[in-house]
Amino acid sequence: MHDFSSYIGIIGGGISGLALGCTLRKYGIKTVIFEKEPNLHNEGAGISISPNGLIALEYLDLKNELEKNSYKSSRAILKYNNSPLLEMDSQVYTMNRRNLISVLYKKYIDLGGEILFDYELKDIDIEKKECLFTNSSSYKIKHVIASDGIKSLIREKFFSGGSKPIYSGYSAWRGFTRSENPNVEISFSSNKHLVSYPINSDLKRSFTGIIKSNEQVTESWREQGNLETFIKQFEETNHQIAKVFESAEDIFKWGIFVRPPLKNIIKKNITLIGDAAHPMVPFLGQGACIAIEDAYTFGYLCHELKCEFDNVQKMYQLLRIKRNNKIQKMSLNQGKLNHLKNPLLVFLRNQLMKKTDIVSKRLKNIHNYDVHQETIKSLTN
């Protein structure tokens, strides 16, 4: 048994775990991250960070690093069956997920954080505050953070009451190619949508295509897909797709599963953050941003409330659960909107997008959240 009883133990060194590690270390709080993979776990996929995620990173002094490692399109273009519907200013930084993880990792290590790779959590003895790992080691720690992602073992074991993930009917493709197009593009067609953006100044471009079908696809980030099938499925959505994908690297396919929102994200000495707390469908590109918000809030509360975890947890749950569940629900609804089939409804949606400011209003509602100010407000109320 390793005695780390003065440390906060973070299970999972992904986006939320590392962001929390940085926040806690910024305030000199002792942390150790346990990561199941043998090294930095970072699937090569595109990710967009919107202003609400960016502001949290800015409070962690990471804005410059993020800017250096990402691309900022000036325009976002929405299309239907290949014809423009709407053009607006783009607010997001887009990058390879790998770069985001590396930026967070480097900062965490620079701040004196500890991370142990090849440590896969097997169980927690809540009463004794002990974490047990598949490599047979065990650690006594002060507080456990579950940042173990969408398939969180900790959520399943201690929080979800045995509810199982349900196939959403959506399956997704992801891949990279190269293109001269500098814009963010979101293209709809009947029952499908395709999101693409550059991830660096060489205009390497990330594509995510979502289709609704009854064929159930495995929930895995590593399952190789067939490029020809992908191109065929999205030709109507983007007439150039075959040409754009001439220079493509591998393409992957995975199933999107839904998990019901939780009523509690705290229990005894365990706190859930990130996808473990609020697994969401990816249709608003908010999972990582909300995960970073969670991490910042929890870390800042630990600092302000001097690691009195009862108070920290109560305040954290109060602040986060409403916002998280709201974004989780909005993401699901966005999927329905993106995948309309009925021609009349499609027409009405497209007219609304073209003739009103509904899209930018909806986005502002999410993007204008300043996690630092909101946390301070809650402490002074």
Ligand X SMILES: Cc1cc2nc3c(=O)[nH]c(=O)nc-3n(C[C@H](O)[C@H](O)[C@H](O)COP(=O)(O)OP(=O)(O)OC[C@H]3O[C@@H](n4cnc5c(N)ncnc54)[C@H](O)[C@@H]3O)c2cc1C
Write out the residues near ligand X by the rule CB under 6 A.
11-17, 34-37, 41, 47-48, 120-121, 147-149, 153, 172, 174, 208, 274-276, 282, 285-289, 291
For residue 164, the Cα-to-chain-centroid distance in whole angstroms is 20
CA dihedral 210, 212, 215, 217 (to 10 degrees): 30
Which of 179, 350 has the CB closer to ligand X?
A: 179
Which of 47, 319 has the CB closer to ligand X?
A: 47
Residue 351 Cβ vs ligand X, minimum distance, rounded to whole Å: 27
CB contact set of 306 (below 8 Å; sequence gap of 6+) = none
**Residue 147: φ, ψ to 5°:** -120, 45
Residue 278 Cβ vs ligand X, minimum distance, rounded to whole Å: 9
Residue 345 Cβ vs ligand X, minimum distance, rounded to whole Å: 25
Residue 256 Cβ vs ligand X, minimum distance, rounded to whole Å: 7
Comparing every residue's Cβ against ligand X, the nearest one is 14
Residue 342 Cβ vs ligand X, minimum distance, rounded to whole Å: 26
Which of 142, 354 has the CB closer to ligand X?
A: 142
Residue 348 Cβ vs ligand X, minimum distance, rounded to whole Å: 27
Which of 266, 350 has the CB closer to ligand X?
A: 266
Spell out the alpha helix ranges (H) of the chain. 15-26, 51-59, 63-68, 97-110, 153-158, 227-234, 241-244, 287-304, 309-338, 343-355, 358-367, 371-380
Residue 132 C-beta-side C-alpha neighbours within 13 Å: 7
Location of structure tokens 């594509």: 207
How far is it, in rounded angstroms, from Cα 174 to Cα 220?
12
CB contact set of 154 (below 8 Å; sequence gap of 6+) = 11, 121, 124, 144, 146, 148, 270, 272, 276
Which of 76, 350 has the CB closer to ligand X?
A: 76
Residue 173 Cβ vs ligand X, minimum distance, rounded to whole Å: 9
Which of 111, 350 has the CB closer to ligand X?
A: 111
Which of 29, 199 has the CB closer to ligand X?
A: 199
What is the token pair recorded at 62? 């990471």
DSSP for 64-75, written as a single string: HHHHHTSEE-SE
